[in-house]
Structure 1
Amino acid sequence: MNRPRKLFVLQLAFTLAVCAFLIVPVILSMLAGLTVNYIAGLSSGLTLRWIFEVWDGYRDTIFRSVGIALACLVVTLLLGVPTAYVLARTRNRVGRWIEELLVLPIAMPGLATALALIASYGALRGFRTSFSFILVGHVLFTLPFMVRSVLAVLQSIDLKTLEEGAASLGAGFARRFFDIVLPNCRQGILAGSLMVVTLSMGEFNMTWLLHTPLTKTLPVGLADAYASLRLEVGSAYTLIFFMMIVPLLLAMQTLARPRTTKFIADDATPDAKP
């Protein structure tokens, strides 16, 4: 076996070992949600009892998490894409400072951000007990990911030249933004959307402090299930979470793939003349 072949085999073995290290605990956790008795293992038999029990008792947290994640996606799109556009056009020290300030909620612990929100808006009782309060925290946490994803794409293209070319043809600002800017940053928008939805669905630290008994989300319900119920119930909760999030991830990654354009040569058309 030559040296490049040995190097490839070692790299492949290392990659498979890392994947097994990450995936095997998840698989074991999901299997625990399908076993009659986790202590006895698979020999006790398989059952869907725990999944139905979680669905009957916690399905409201599942739908609430999906709603908050989708609402968070809409808000971050409305705020993040224009912000990234402005930062791409403003390439100076002020723009860089604003970009760094946007990342500040990520650098801070989620509990600290939650405490800051409670100290600022906790007196607004109607707002404090609504799911909108959690939504604000999720937007603060996920907005930098949307801005950075879109900004990276906008900075990789000659945006100024494209807009000047469209303006010279009579396109106004709105048409330039929707017909030039948005199509060119499509990949960044899809990548940012993927991160926003997944992070919002799985966010726990901040949500644990912001939630109320009536606004419990899926990760908080998952923690309660592991802490106060049988391990099988918590594992079934994890299985339902993966059943929801994996198809969503696959769908969004499919949308994020670049489109391929096929060109037909002139001499390949039926009307081509010799």
Structure 2
Amino acid sequence: MSNERSIQTGTVPERNPGRFGRLSAAFGRRIVTAVIALTVVFLIAPVLITVIASFAAEWTGVIPTGFFTLEHWRHVLGLAEVVGAERALGTASFSALGYTITVPFLSLVFSVMLALGGVVINLIVGIPIAYAVTRYDFFGRGWVNTFAVLPIVPGVILGIAFLRTYPNLPSAISLVIGYSLLKVPYMVLAVQSSFESMDLRQLEESARSLGASWPRTFFTIIIPNAKTGIIAGSIVCWTLAAAEFNFTYMVYSRGPRPFSIFLYNNITNSPILQTAAAVSIYFLIVAGVTMLLQATGQRGFSVGGAR
């Protein structure tokens, strides 16, 4: 009766949220915030404790003790002449034209370049695929989209396939190609999400009406506007490629060791504190590359003169 009277008078009917509704209104936001904070702490705590333990003398319980020492870092960085130095990052010297070039931390530099090579291929392949399946409606579009965003095969299977198909292919080339094949779905998904948030047809028509060719429209307008997805995809692809172990373990044969092999050797054969230092190096590298790519995304980037 009260609702009918409210409709006749044009007033908003009184709403009784009930006890649960009142409790939810009073404490719901606080509870959600507390759950998120506890989840973040739960996920971040092992990383922080591992980094802290790398500077400790002992780690027998949950909390490391005996600070402060750099011995474990010196060991894994190859700066200490001790047993197990072959598991360190180490250095390498190359002679050419009468000059000797020493590369410090060669394993680290080698892995960074391999992962970056995979990201470059992901960008070259992933961006056009994401653009095509977002912008155009063509026969087989659904299948292309499905196969583009699904991982092809696990790393160990792809490694065996590479060894059988390309037995004489250098390890570095195999690793770059393999990293790109394994991680390209993440690039396609990230860039596609940016394209889907844009009105591609309107952007293209506006640019073409002003006299821009299709290549110029694509490289100077479409790609810069999708920078959020491109940066996110690059971060994910680089991080996963740098730590890819299964494919690396199957394909790697000689030369500088990829970083995932370095981590494996230290985790399986080194004391726990040296392992903590090795893992901390990976955390710091990932954090550094992530901040660098995010800074690039915040400043914006230009392709062909457009920002």
TM-score by length of 2: 0.75
The percentage of counterpart residues that share the same residue type is: 27
Runs of 4+ in 1 over 4 A off after TM superposition: none
- Please point out which of 135, 150, 164 is paired with 1:119: 164
1:214 aligns to 2:255 (yes or no): yes
Deviations 1:228-273 (A, max 9, x none): 12111111001111121112212323443497xxxxxxxxxxxxxx
Q: Deviations over 1:193-231 (max 9, x none)?
A: 121221212222222222224242112211111111211
Q: Equivalent residue of 2:59, what SS?
A: coil
SS in 1 for 2:266: helix
1:148 CA drift (Å): 2.0
Cα 1:161/1:45, change in 2 over 3 Å: closer
Aligned AA (2:181): L
The alpha carbon displacement at 1:38 in A equals 2.5
Gaps spanning 5+ residues in structure 1: where? 260-274
In the alignment, the residues of structure 1 paired with residue 67 and residue 188 of structure 2 have an alpha-carbon distance, to the nearest angstrom, of 48
Contact 1:130–1:215 (CA<8 Å) still a contact in 2? Answer: no
Q: How many residues align?
A: 254
| CA shift digits 1:60-105 (9 cap, x unpaired) | 221111111211222222222222222233323412211212234x
Distance 1:42 1:183, change over 3 A: closer
1:49 counterpart residue number: 71
Which one-letter code corresponds to 2:114 in the other structure? I
Letter in 2 for 1:51: W
Would you say the 8 A contact 2:152–2:182 is kept in 1? no
Give 1:69-218 correspondences, 5 Å limit: 69-104=115-150, 106=151, 108-121=153-166, 123=167, 125=168, 127=169, 129-218=170-259
Give RMSD over aligned pairs: 2.3
Could you tell me which amino acid in structure 2 is paired with residue 67 of structure 1? M
Measure the CA separation in 1 of the matches of 2:228 and 2:247: 29
Larger % of strand: which?
2
Q: CA 1:52/1:152 → structure 2, altered by over 3 Å: closer, same or farther?
A: same
Who is 2:56 aligned against?
35
Residue 161 of structure 1 deviates from its aligned partner by: 2.5
In the other structure, the counterpart of 2:101 is none
Check whether the contact 1:194–1:252 (CA below 8 A) recurs between aligned residues: yes
| Higher Cα radius of gyration | 2
Question: 1:36, 1:51 → 2: CA distance?
Answer: 12
1:25 maps to which of 46, 64, 67 = 46
Higher helix proportion:
1
Please state if 1:229 is matched with 2:270: yes
Supply the distance in 2 between the matched residues of 1:255 and 1:5 (Cα, whole angstroms): 41
Distance in 2 of aligned mates of 1:27 and 1:175:
46
Residues 56 and 68 in structure 2, CA contact (< 8 A), matched pair in contact too: yes
Partner letter of residue 152 of structure 1?
S
TM-score (norm 1): 0.83
**Cα offset, 1:107, TM superposition:** 5.9
Once residues 143 and 175 of structure 1 are traced to their aligned partners in structure 2, the CA distance between those partners, rounded to angstroms, is: 25
